Chain A
Amino acid sequence: MNESAHLWLIPLFPFLGFLLNGILGFRLPRRLVSAIGILAPLASFAVVLGDFGATIITAASSCPRCGSVTALALPAAETLSYPWLAIGALHVDFTFVLDQLSAVMLLIVTGVGFLIHVYSVGYMKDEPGYARYFSFLNLFFFFMSVLVLAGNFLLMFVGWEGVGLASYLLIGFYFQRTSAADAGKKAFIVNRIGDFGFLIGIFLVLSTFGTLGFTDIAVRLAVSPDWHGTVLTVICLCLLVGAAGKSAQLPLYVWLPDAMEGPTPVSALIHAATMVTAGVYMIARTHLLFDRSPVALWTVAIVGATTALFAATIGLVQNDIKRVLAYSTISQLGYMFLACGVAAYSAAIFHLVMHAFFKALLFLAAGSVIHAMGGEQDLRKMGGLRKKMPVTFWTMTAAVLAIAGFPPFAGFFSKDPILYAAFLQGTGGKLLWFVGLVAALLTSLYMFRLWYLAFMGEPRSEVKHHHATPLSMLAPMVILGVLSVCGGWIGIEHFSAYLAPVAAAHRPMPTGNPFLESILAIVAVLVALEGWLIADKYYRRKTERPAQLAAALPTGYKLLLNKYYVDEFYGAVIVKSLFAFSKFVLGGVDLLLAGVAWLLAGVASMTGMILQRWQSGNLRSYAAWLTLGAAVLLISAWLLGQGTAHATVYQYDGSALKHFLNAAGH
Chain B
Amino acid sequence: MSFLQHDVPLSWYLLLSAILFALGVVGFLIKRNLITVFMSIELMLNAVNLSFVTFAYQWHEVRGQIFVFFVMMVAAAEAAVGLAIIIAVFRARSTLAVDRIDLMKL
- Which of B29, B63, B99 contacts A665 (CB under 8 A)? B63
A606-639 vs B: 1/0 string, CB under 8 Å? 0000001001111110011001000000000000
B2-44 vs A: 1/0 string, CB under 8 Å? 0000000000000000000000010011101000010000000
A625-666 vs B: 1/0 string, CB under 8 Å? 001000000000000000000000000001001100100110
- Which of A615, A620, A658, A664 contacts B106 (CB under 8 A)? A615
Let me know if B64 and A623 touch, CB within 8 A: no
Report chain B residues within 8 Å CB of A620.
28-30, 32, 98-99
- Known contacts A615-B105, A618-B102, A619-B101; is A657 also within 8 Å of B29 by CB? no
**B interface secondary structure, majority:** helix
The contact size tier of chain A is 10 to 19
Report chain B residues within 8 Å CB of A665.
63
- Which of B25, B32, B64 contacts A627 (CB under 8 A)? B25
Let me know if A661 and B106 touch, CB within 8 A: no
- Which of B30, B63, B64, B99 contacts A618 (CB under 8 A)? B99
Question: Taking the nearest CB of chain B, how far is it from the CB of A622, in angstroms?
Answer: 10
Let me know if B102 and A661 touch, CB within 8 A: no
Let me know if B98 and A657 touch, CB within 8 A: no
**A interface secondary structure, majority:** helix
**Residues 21-80 of B at the A interface (beta carbon under 8 Å):** 25, 28-30, 32, 37, 55, 59, 61, 63-64, 67
Let me know if B104 and A617 touch, CB within 8 A: yes
Q: Which residue of A lies closest to B32 (CB)?
A: A620
Let me know if B99 and A623 touch, CB within 8 A: no
Let me know if A654 and B59 touch, CB within 8 A: yes
Q: How far is the CA of A620 from the CA of B40 in the complex (A)?
A: 13
The contact size tier of chain B is 20 to 34
Q: Which residue of A lies closest to B101 (CB)?
A: A619
Let me know if B98 and A661 touch, CB within 8 A: no
Let me know if B106 and A612 touch, CB within 8 A: yes
Q: Which residue of B lies closest to A665 (CB)?
A: B63
Let me know if B98 and A658 touch, CB within 8 A: no
Let me know if A623 and B29 touch, CB within 8 A: yes
Report chain A residues within 8 Å CB of B28.
620, 623
Report chain B residues within 8 Å CB of A619.
37, 98-99, 101-102
Question: Taking the nearest CB of chain A, how far is it from the CB of B67, in angstroms?
Answer: 8
Q: How far is the CA of A657 from the CA of B28 in the complex (A)?
A: 28
Report chain A residues within 8 Å CB of B55.
657
Question: Taking the nearest CB of chain A, how far is it from the CB of B69, in angstroms?
Answer: 13
Question: Taking the nearest CB of chain A, how far is it from the CB of B20, in angstroms?
Answer: 15
Q: Which residue of A lies closest to B26 (CB)?
A: A627
Let me know if B63 and A617 touch, CB within 8 A: no
Report chain A residues within 8 Å CB of B98.
618-620
Q: How far is the CA of A619 from the CA of B61 in the complex (A)?
A: 38
- Which of B25, B32, B61, B99 contacts A661 (CB under 8 A)? B61
Q: How far is the CA of A275 from the CA of B44 in the complex (A)?
A: 86
Let me know if A617 and B29 touch, CB within 8 A: no
Q: How far is the CA of A619 from the CA of B38 in the complex (A)?
A: 12
Q: How far is the CA of A665 from the CA of B30 in the complex (A)?
A: 38
Q: 22 A-B Cβ contacts within 8 A?
A: A612-B106, A617-B102, A617-B106, A618-B99, A618-B105, A619-B98, A619-B101, A619-B102, A620-B28, A620-B29, A620-B30, A620-B99, A623-B29, A624-B29, A654-B59, A657-B55, A657-B59, A658-B59, A661-B67, A664-B63, A664-B67, A665-B63
Please name the 10 residue pairs, one residue from A and one from B, whose CB atoms are nearest each other, closest first: A617-B105, A617-B102, A661-B63, A619-B98, A665-B63, A624-B29, A615-B106, A623-B28, A623-B29, A627-B25
Spell out B's residues near A (CB within 8 Å). 25, 28-30, 32, 37, 55, 59, 61, 63-64, 67, 98-99, 101-106
Given contacts A620-B99, A654-B59, 18 further A-B contacts (CB under 8 A): A615-B105, A615-B106, A617-B102, A617-B103, A617-B104, A617-B105, A617-B106, A618-B105, A620-B28, A620-B30, A620-B32, A620-B98, A623-B28, A627-B25, A657-B55, A657-B59, A664-B63, A664-B67
